[in-house]
């Protein structure tokens, strides 16, 4: 068993797809009909076998996600995403787990760019 899909609720599907593909560098896969009401668009990056599914929030469920994106160089990705117009909440911060930077999409979902660091190694 493994995790394959997580879901993010968005208000505007077209805009969300554009945010993921043009700004974050994700690729969109074919839409999947998970249930009768909603089509979901799986998005993935670097050909990984994990997807975030964009789900249009038609009602007012207001469900918010917080996605942690792993990177091996937080400052580089922070800089590149900022150049692409991603609006970060602040500068990258040093935490006990490593270096991280956070941004939001237009629908209140949070994304954390995390470079995990092993502080015990030399």
Question: Residues 75-92, buried b or exposed e (16+ Cβ, 10 A)?
Answer: eebbeebeeeebeeeeeb
* Binding of residue 118 to another protein (CB under 8 A): yes
Longest dimension (CA), the chain: 53
How many CA atoms are closer than 13 Å to the CA of 55, on its beta-carbon side?
A: 24
* 89 contributes a contact to another protein by CB under 8 A: no
42 touches another protein (CB under 8 A): no
Residue 46 sits in the site that holds another protein (CB under 8 A)? no
Binding another protein (rule: CB under 8 A), the pick from 9, 51, 78, 103 is 78
Is 96 an interacting residue with respect to another protein (CB under 8 A)? no
Q: Does 76 engage in binding with another protein (CB under 8 A)? A: yes
Distance CA 88, CA 120 (A): 29
CB of 44 to another protein, least distance (A): 25
Return the residue of 1, 33, 48, 122 that touches another protein, per CB under 8 A: 122
79 near another protein, rule: CB under 8 A: yes
Measured CA to CA, the distance from residue 99 to residue 83 in angstroms comes to 19
Calpha distance 8→64 (Å, rounded): 7
Which chain residues interact with another protein by CB under 8 A?
73, 75-76, 78-80, 83, 92, 94, 99, 117-119, 121-122
């Amino acid at each position: 068993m493994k995790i394959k899909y997580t879901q993010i609720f968005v208000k505007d599907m077209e805009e969300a797809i554009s945010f993921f593909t043009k700004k974050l560098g994700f690729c969109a896969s074919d839409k999947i009909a998970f249930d009768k009401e909603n089509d979901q668009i799986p998005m993935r990056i670097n050909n990984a076998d994990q997807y975030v599914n964009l789900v249009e929030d038609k009602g007012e469920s207001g469900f918010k996600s917080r996605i942690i994106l792993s990177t091996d160089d937080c400052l580089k990705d922070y800089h590149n995403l900022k150049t692409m117009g991603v609006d970060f909440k602040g500068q990258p911060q040093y935490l006990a787990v490593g270096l991280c930077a956070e941004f939001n999409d237009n629908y209140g979902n949070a994304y954390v760019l995390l470079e995990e660091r092993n502080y015990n190694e030399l």
